[in-house]
Amino acid sequence: MSSAADPLAALGSLPGVAETVDSVRKAVDRVYGHRIMRRRSAELTSEAALRAARGSAALSGADWALEEVRRRTDFGADPEARAVGAALRLTAEAGQLLSIWRQSPLRVLARLHLVASGSTADGDVVGRPRLAGEPVDEPLIEQPLPPADEVAGRLDGLSRLVIAGTAAPALVLSAVVHGELLALRPFASHNGLVARAAERIVLINSGLDPKAICPAEVGHAELGREAYLEAFAGYVSGTPEGVAQWIAHCGRAVELGVRETTAVCEALQRGAA
């Protein structure tokens, strides 16, 4: 596939990106080679999903302790609880949408927004891109909001890119999907949560993390909201340096997710000894 037909291919040659991709692949391979993976991978997947939800919710303003997320059953009491509940639903749903993603990414995004919203209480804004003049509730992202017609065009371009496939590494594609959805904020609400869930789907579906045990959301939260927004501003700038900065940030987030799961593996191994 030529670089003209595959616009993401050139991103792999940005300064530092190849090194980031290689570092992430080695980190993922190491945790997949852990002896605990041979007999308790399902347990690791479940634990990683819980920690991913906690991390994504933290970036949306609900920074709860992991044990509180694990313990709670009521997620409708206040805005923070609703954000945590939405994040939990999204991590659970992401694995059910893998087969649909490459055929109809827009359908998946609509489903993710519906799941995050939790109901149709918000009327016909749920599960569809916003129209001109409709407000967006995403207070933590302060970049200028693209107009609705630009959103529609860029979503269509992103969809065609996913369907056509790319020679770009999975990390690059996942970072672009994540960054583009954050930049567009196509829905009336929950855009950050949806963007991170889409990143998760790409990392799993691409084969980089097929068992969903390397939660990038954990790393994004650990790196902190300020670093997240700074790296995102680089993506929005559209400069090669800015886009490379965002890809590097996403790569570091995956590596920190790997570190988290490695710690879980070690804990399980000590318990089994």
Question: Chain-centre distance of CA 168, in angstroms?
Answer: 17
Q: pLDDT tens string for the chain (273 positions)?
A: 334 568 888 898 899 999 999 999 999 999 999 999 989 999 999 999 999 999 999 999 999 999 999 998 888 778 999 999 999 999 999 999 999 999 999 999 999 999 999 865 556 789 999 999 999 998 889 899 999 999 999 999 999 999 999 999 999 999 999 999 999 999 999 999 999 999 999 999 999 999 999 999 999 999 999 999 999 999 999 999 999 999 999 999 999 999 999 999 999 998 854
- pLDDT at residue number 2: 37
Which contiguous run of DSSP H or E holds residue 195?
Answer: helix 191-205
- pLDDT at residue number 119: 67
Are 216 and 257 in contact by the 8 Å Cβ rule? The answer is: yes
DSSP string, 93-150: HHTTSHHHHTT-HHHHHHHHHHHHH-SSTTGGGTTSPPPTT---B-TT--SPPPPHHH
- pLDDT at residue number 76: 79
Please give the Cα distance from 253 to 175 (Å, whole number).
11
Rg of the chain over all Cα atoms, to the nearest angstrom? 18
- pLDDT at residue number 197: 98
- pLDDT at residue number 9: 86
Please give the Cα distance from 184 to 236 (Å, whole number).
10
pTM for this model (two decimals): 0.94
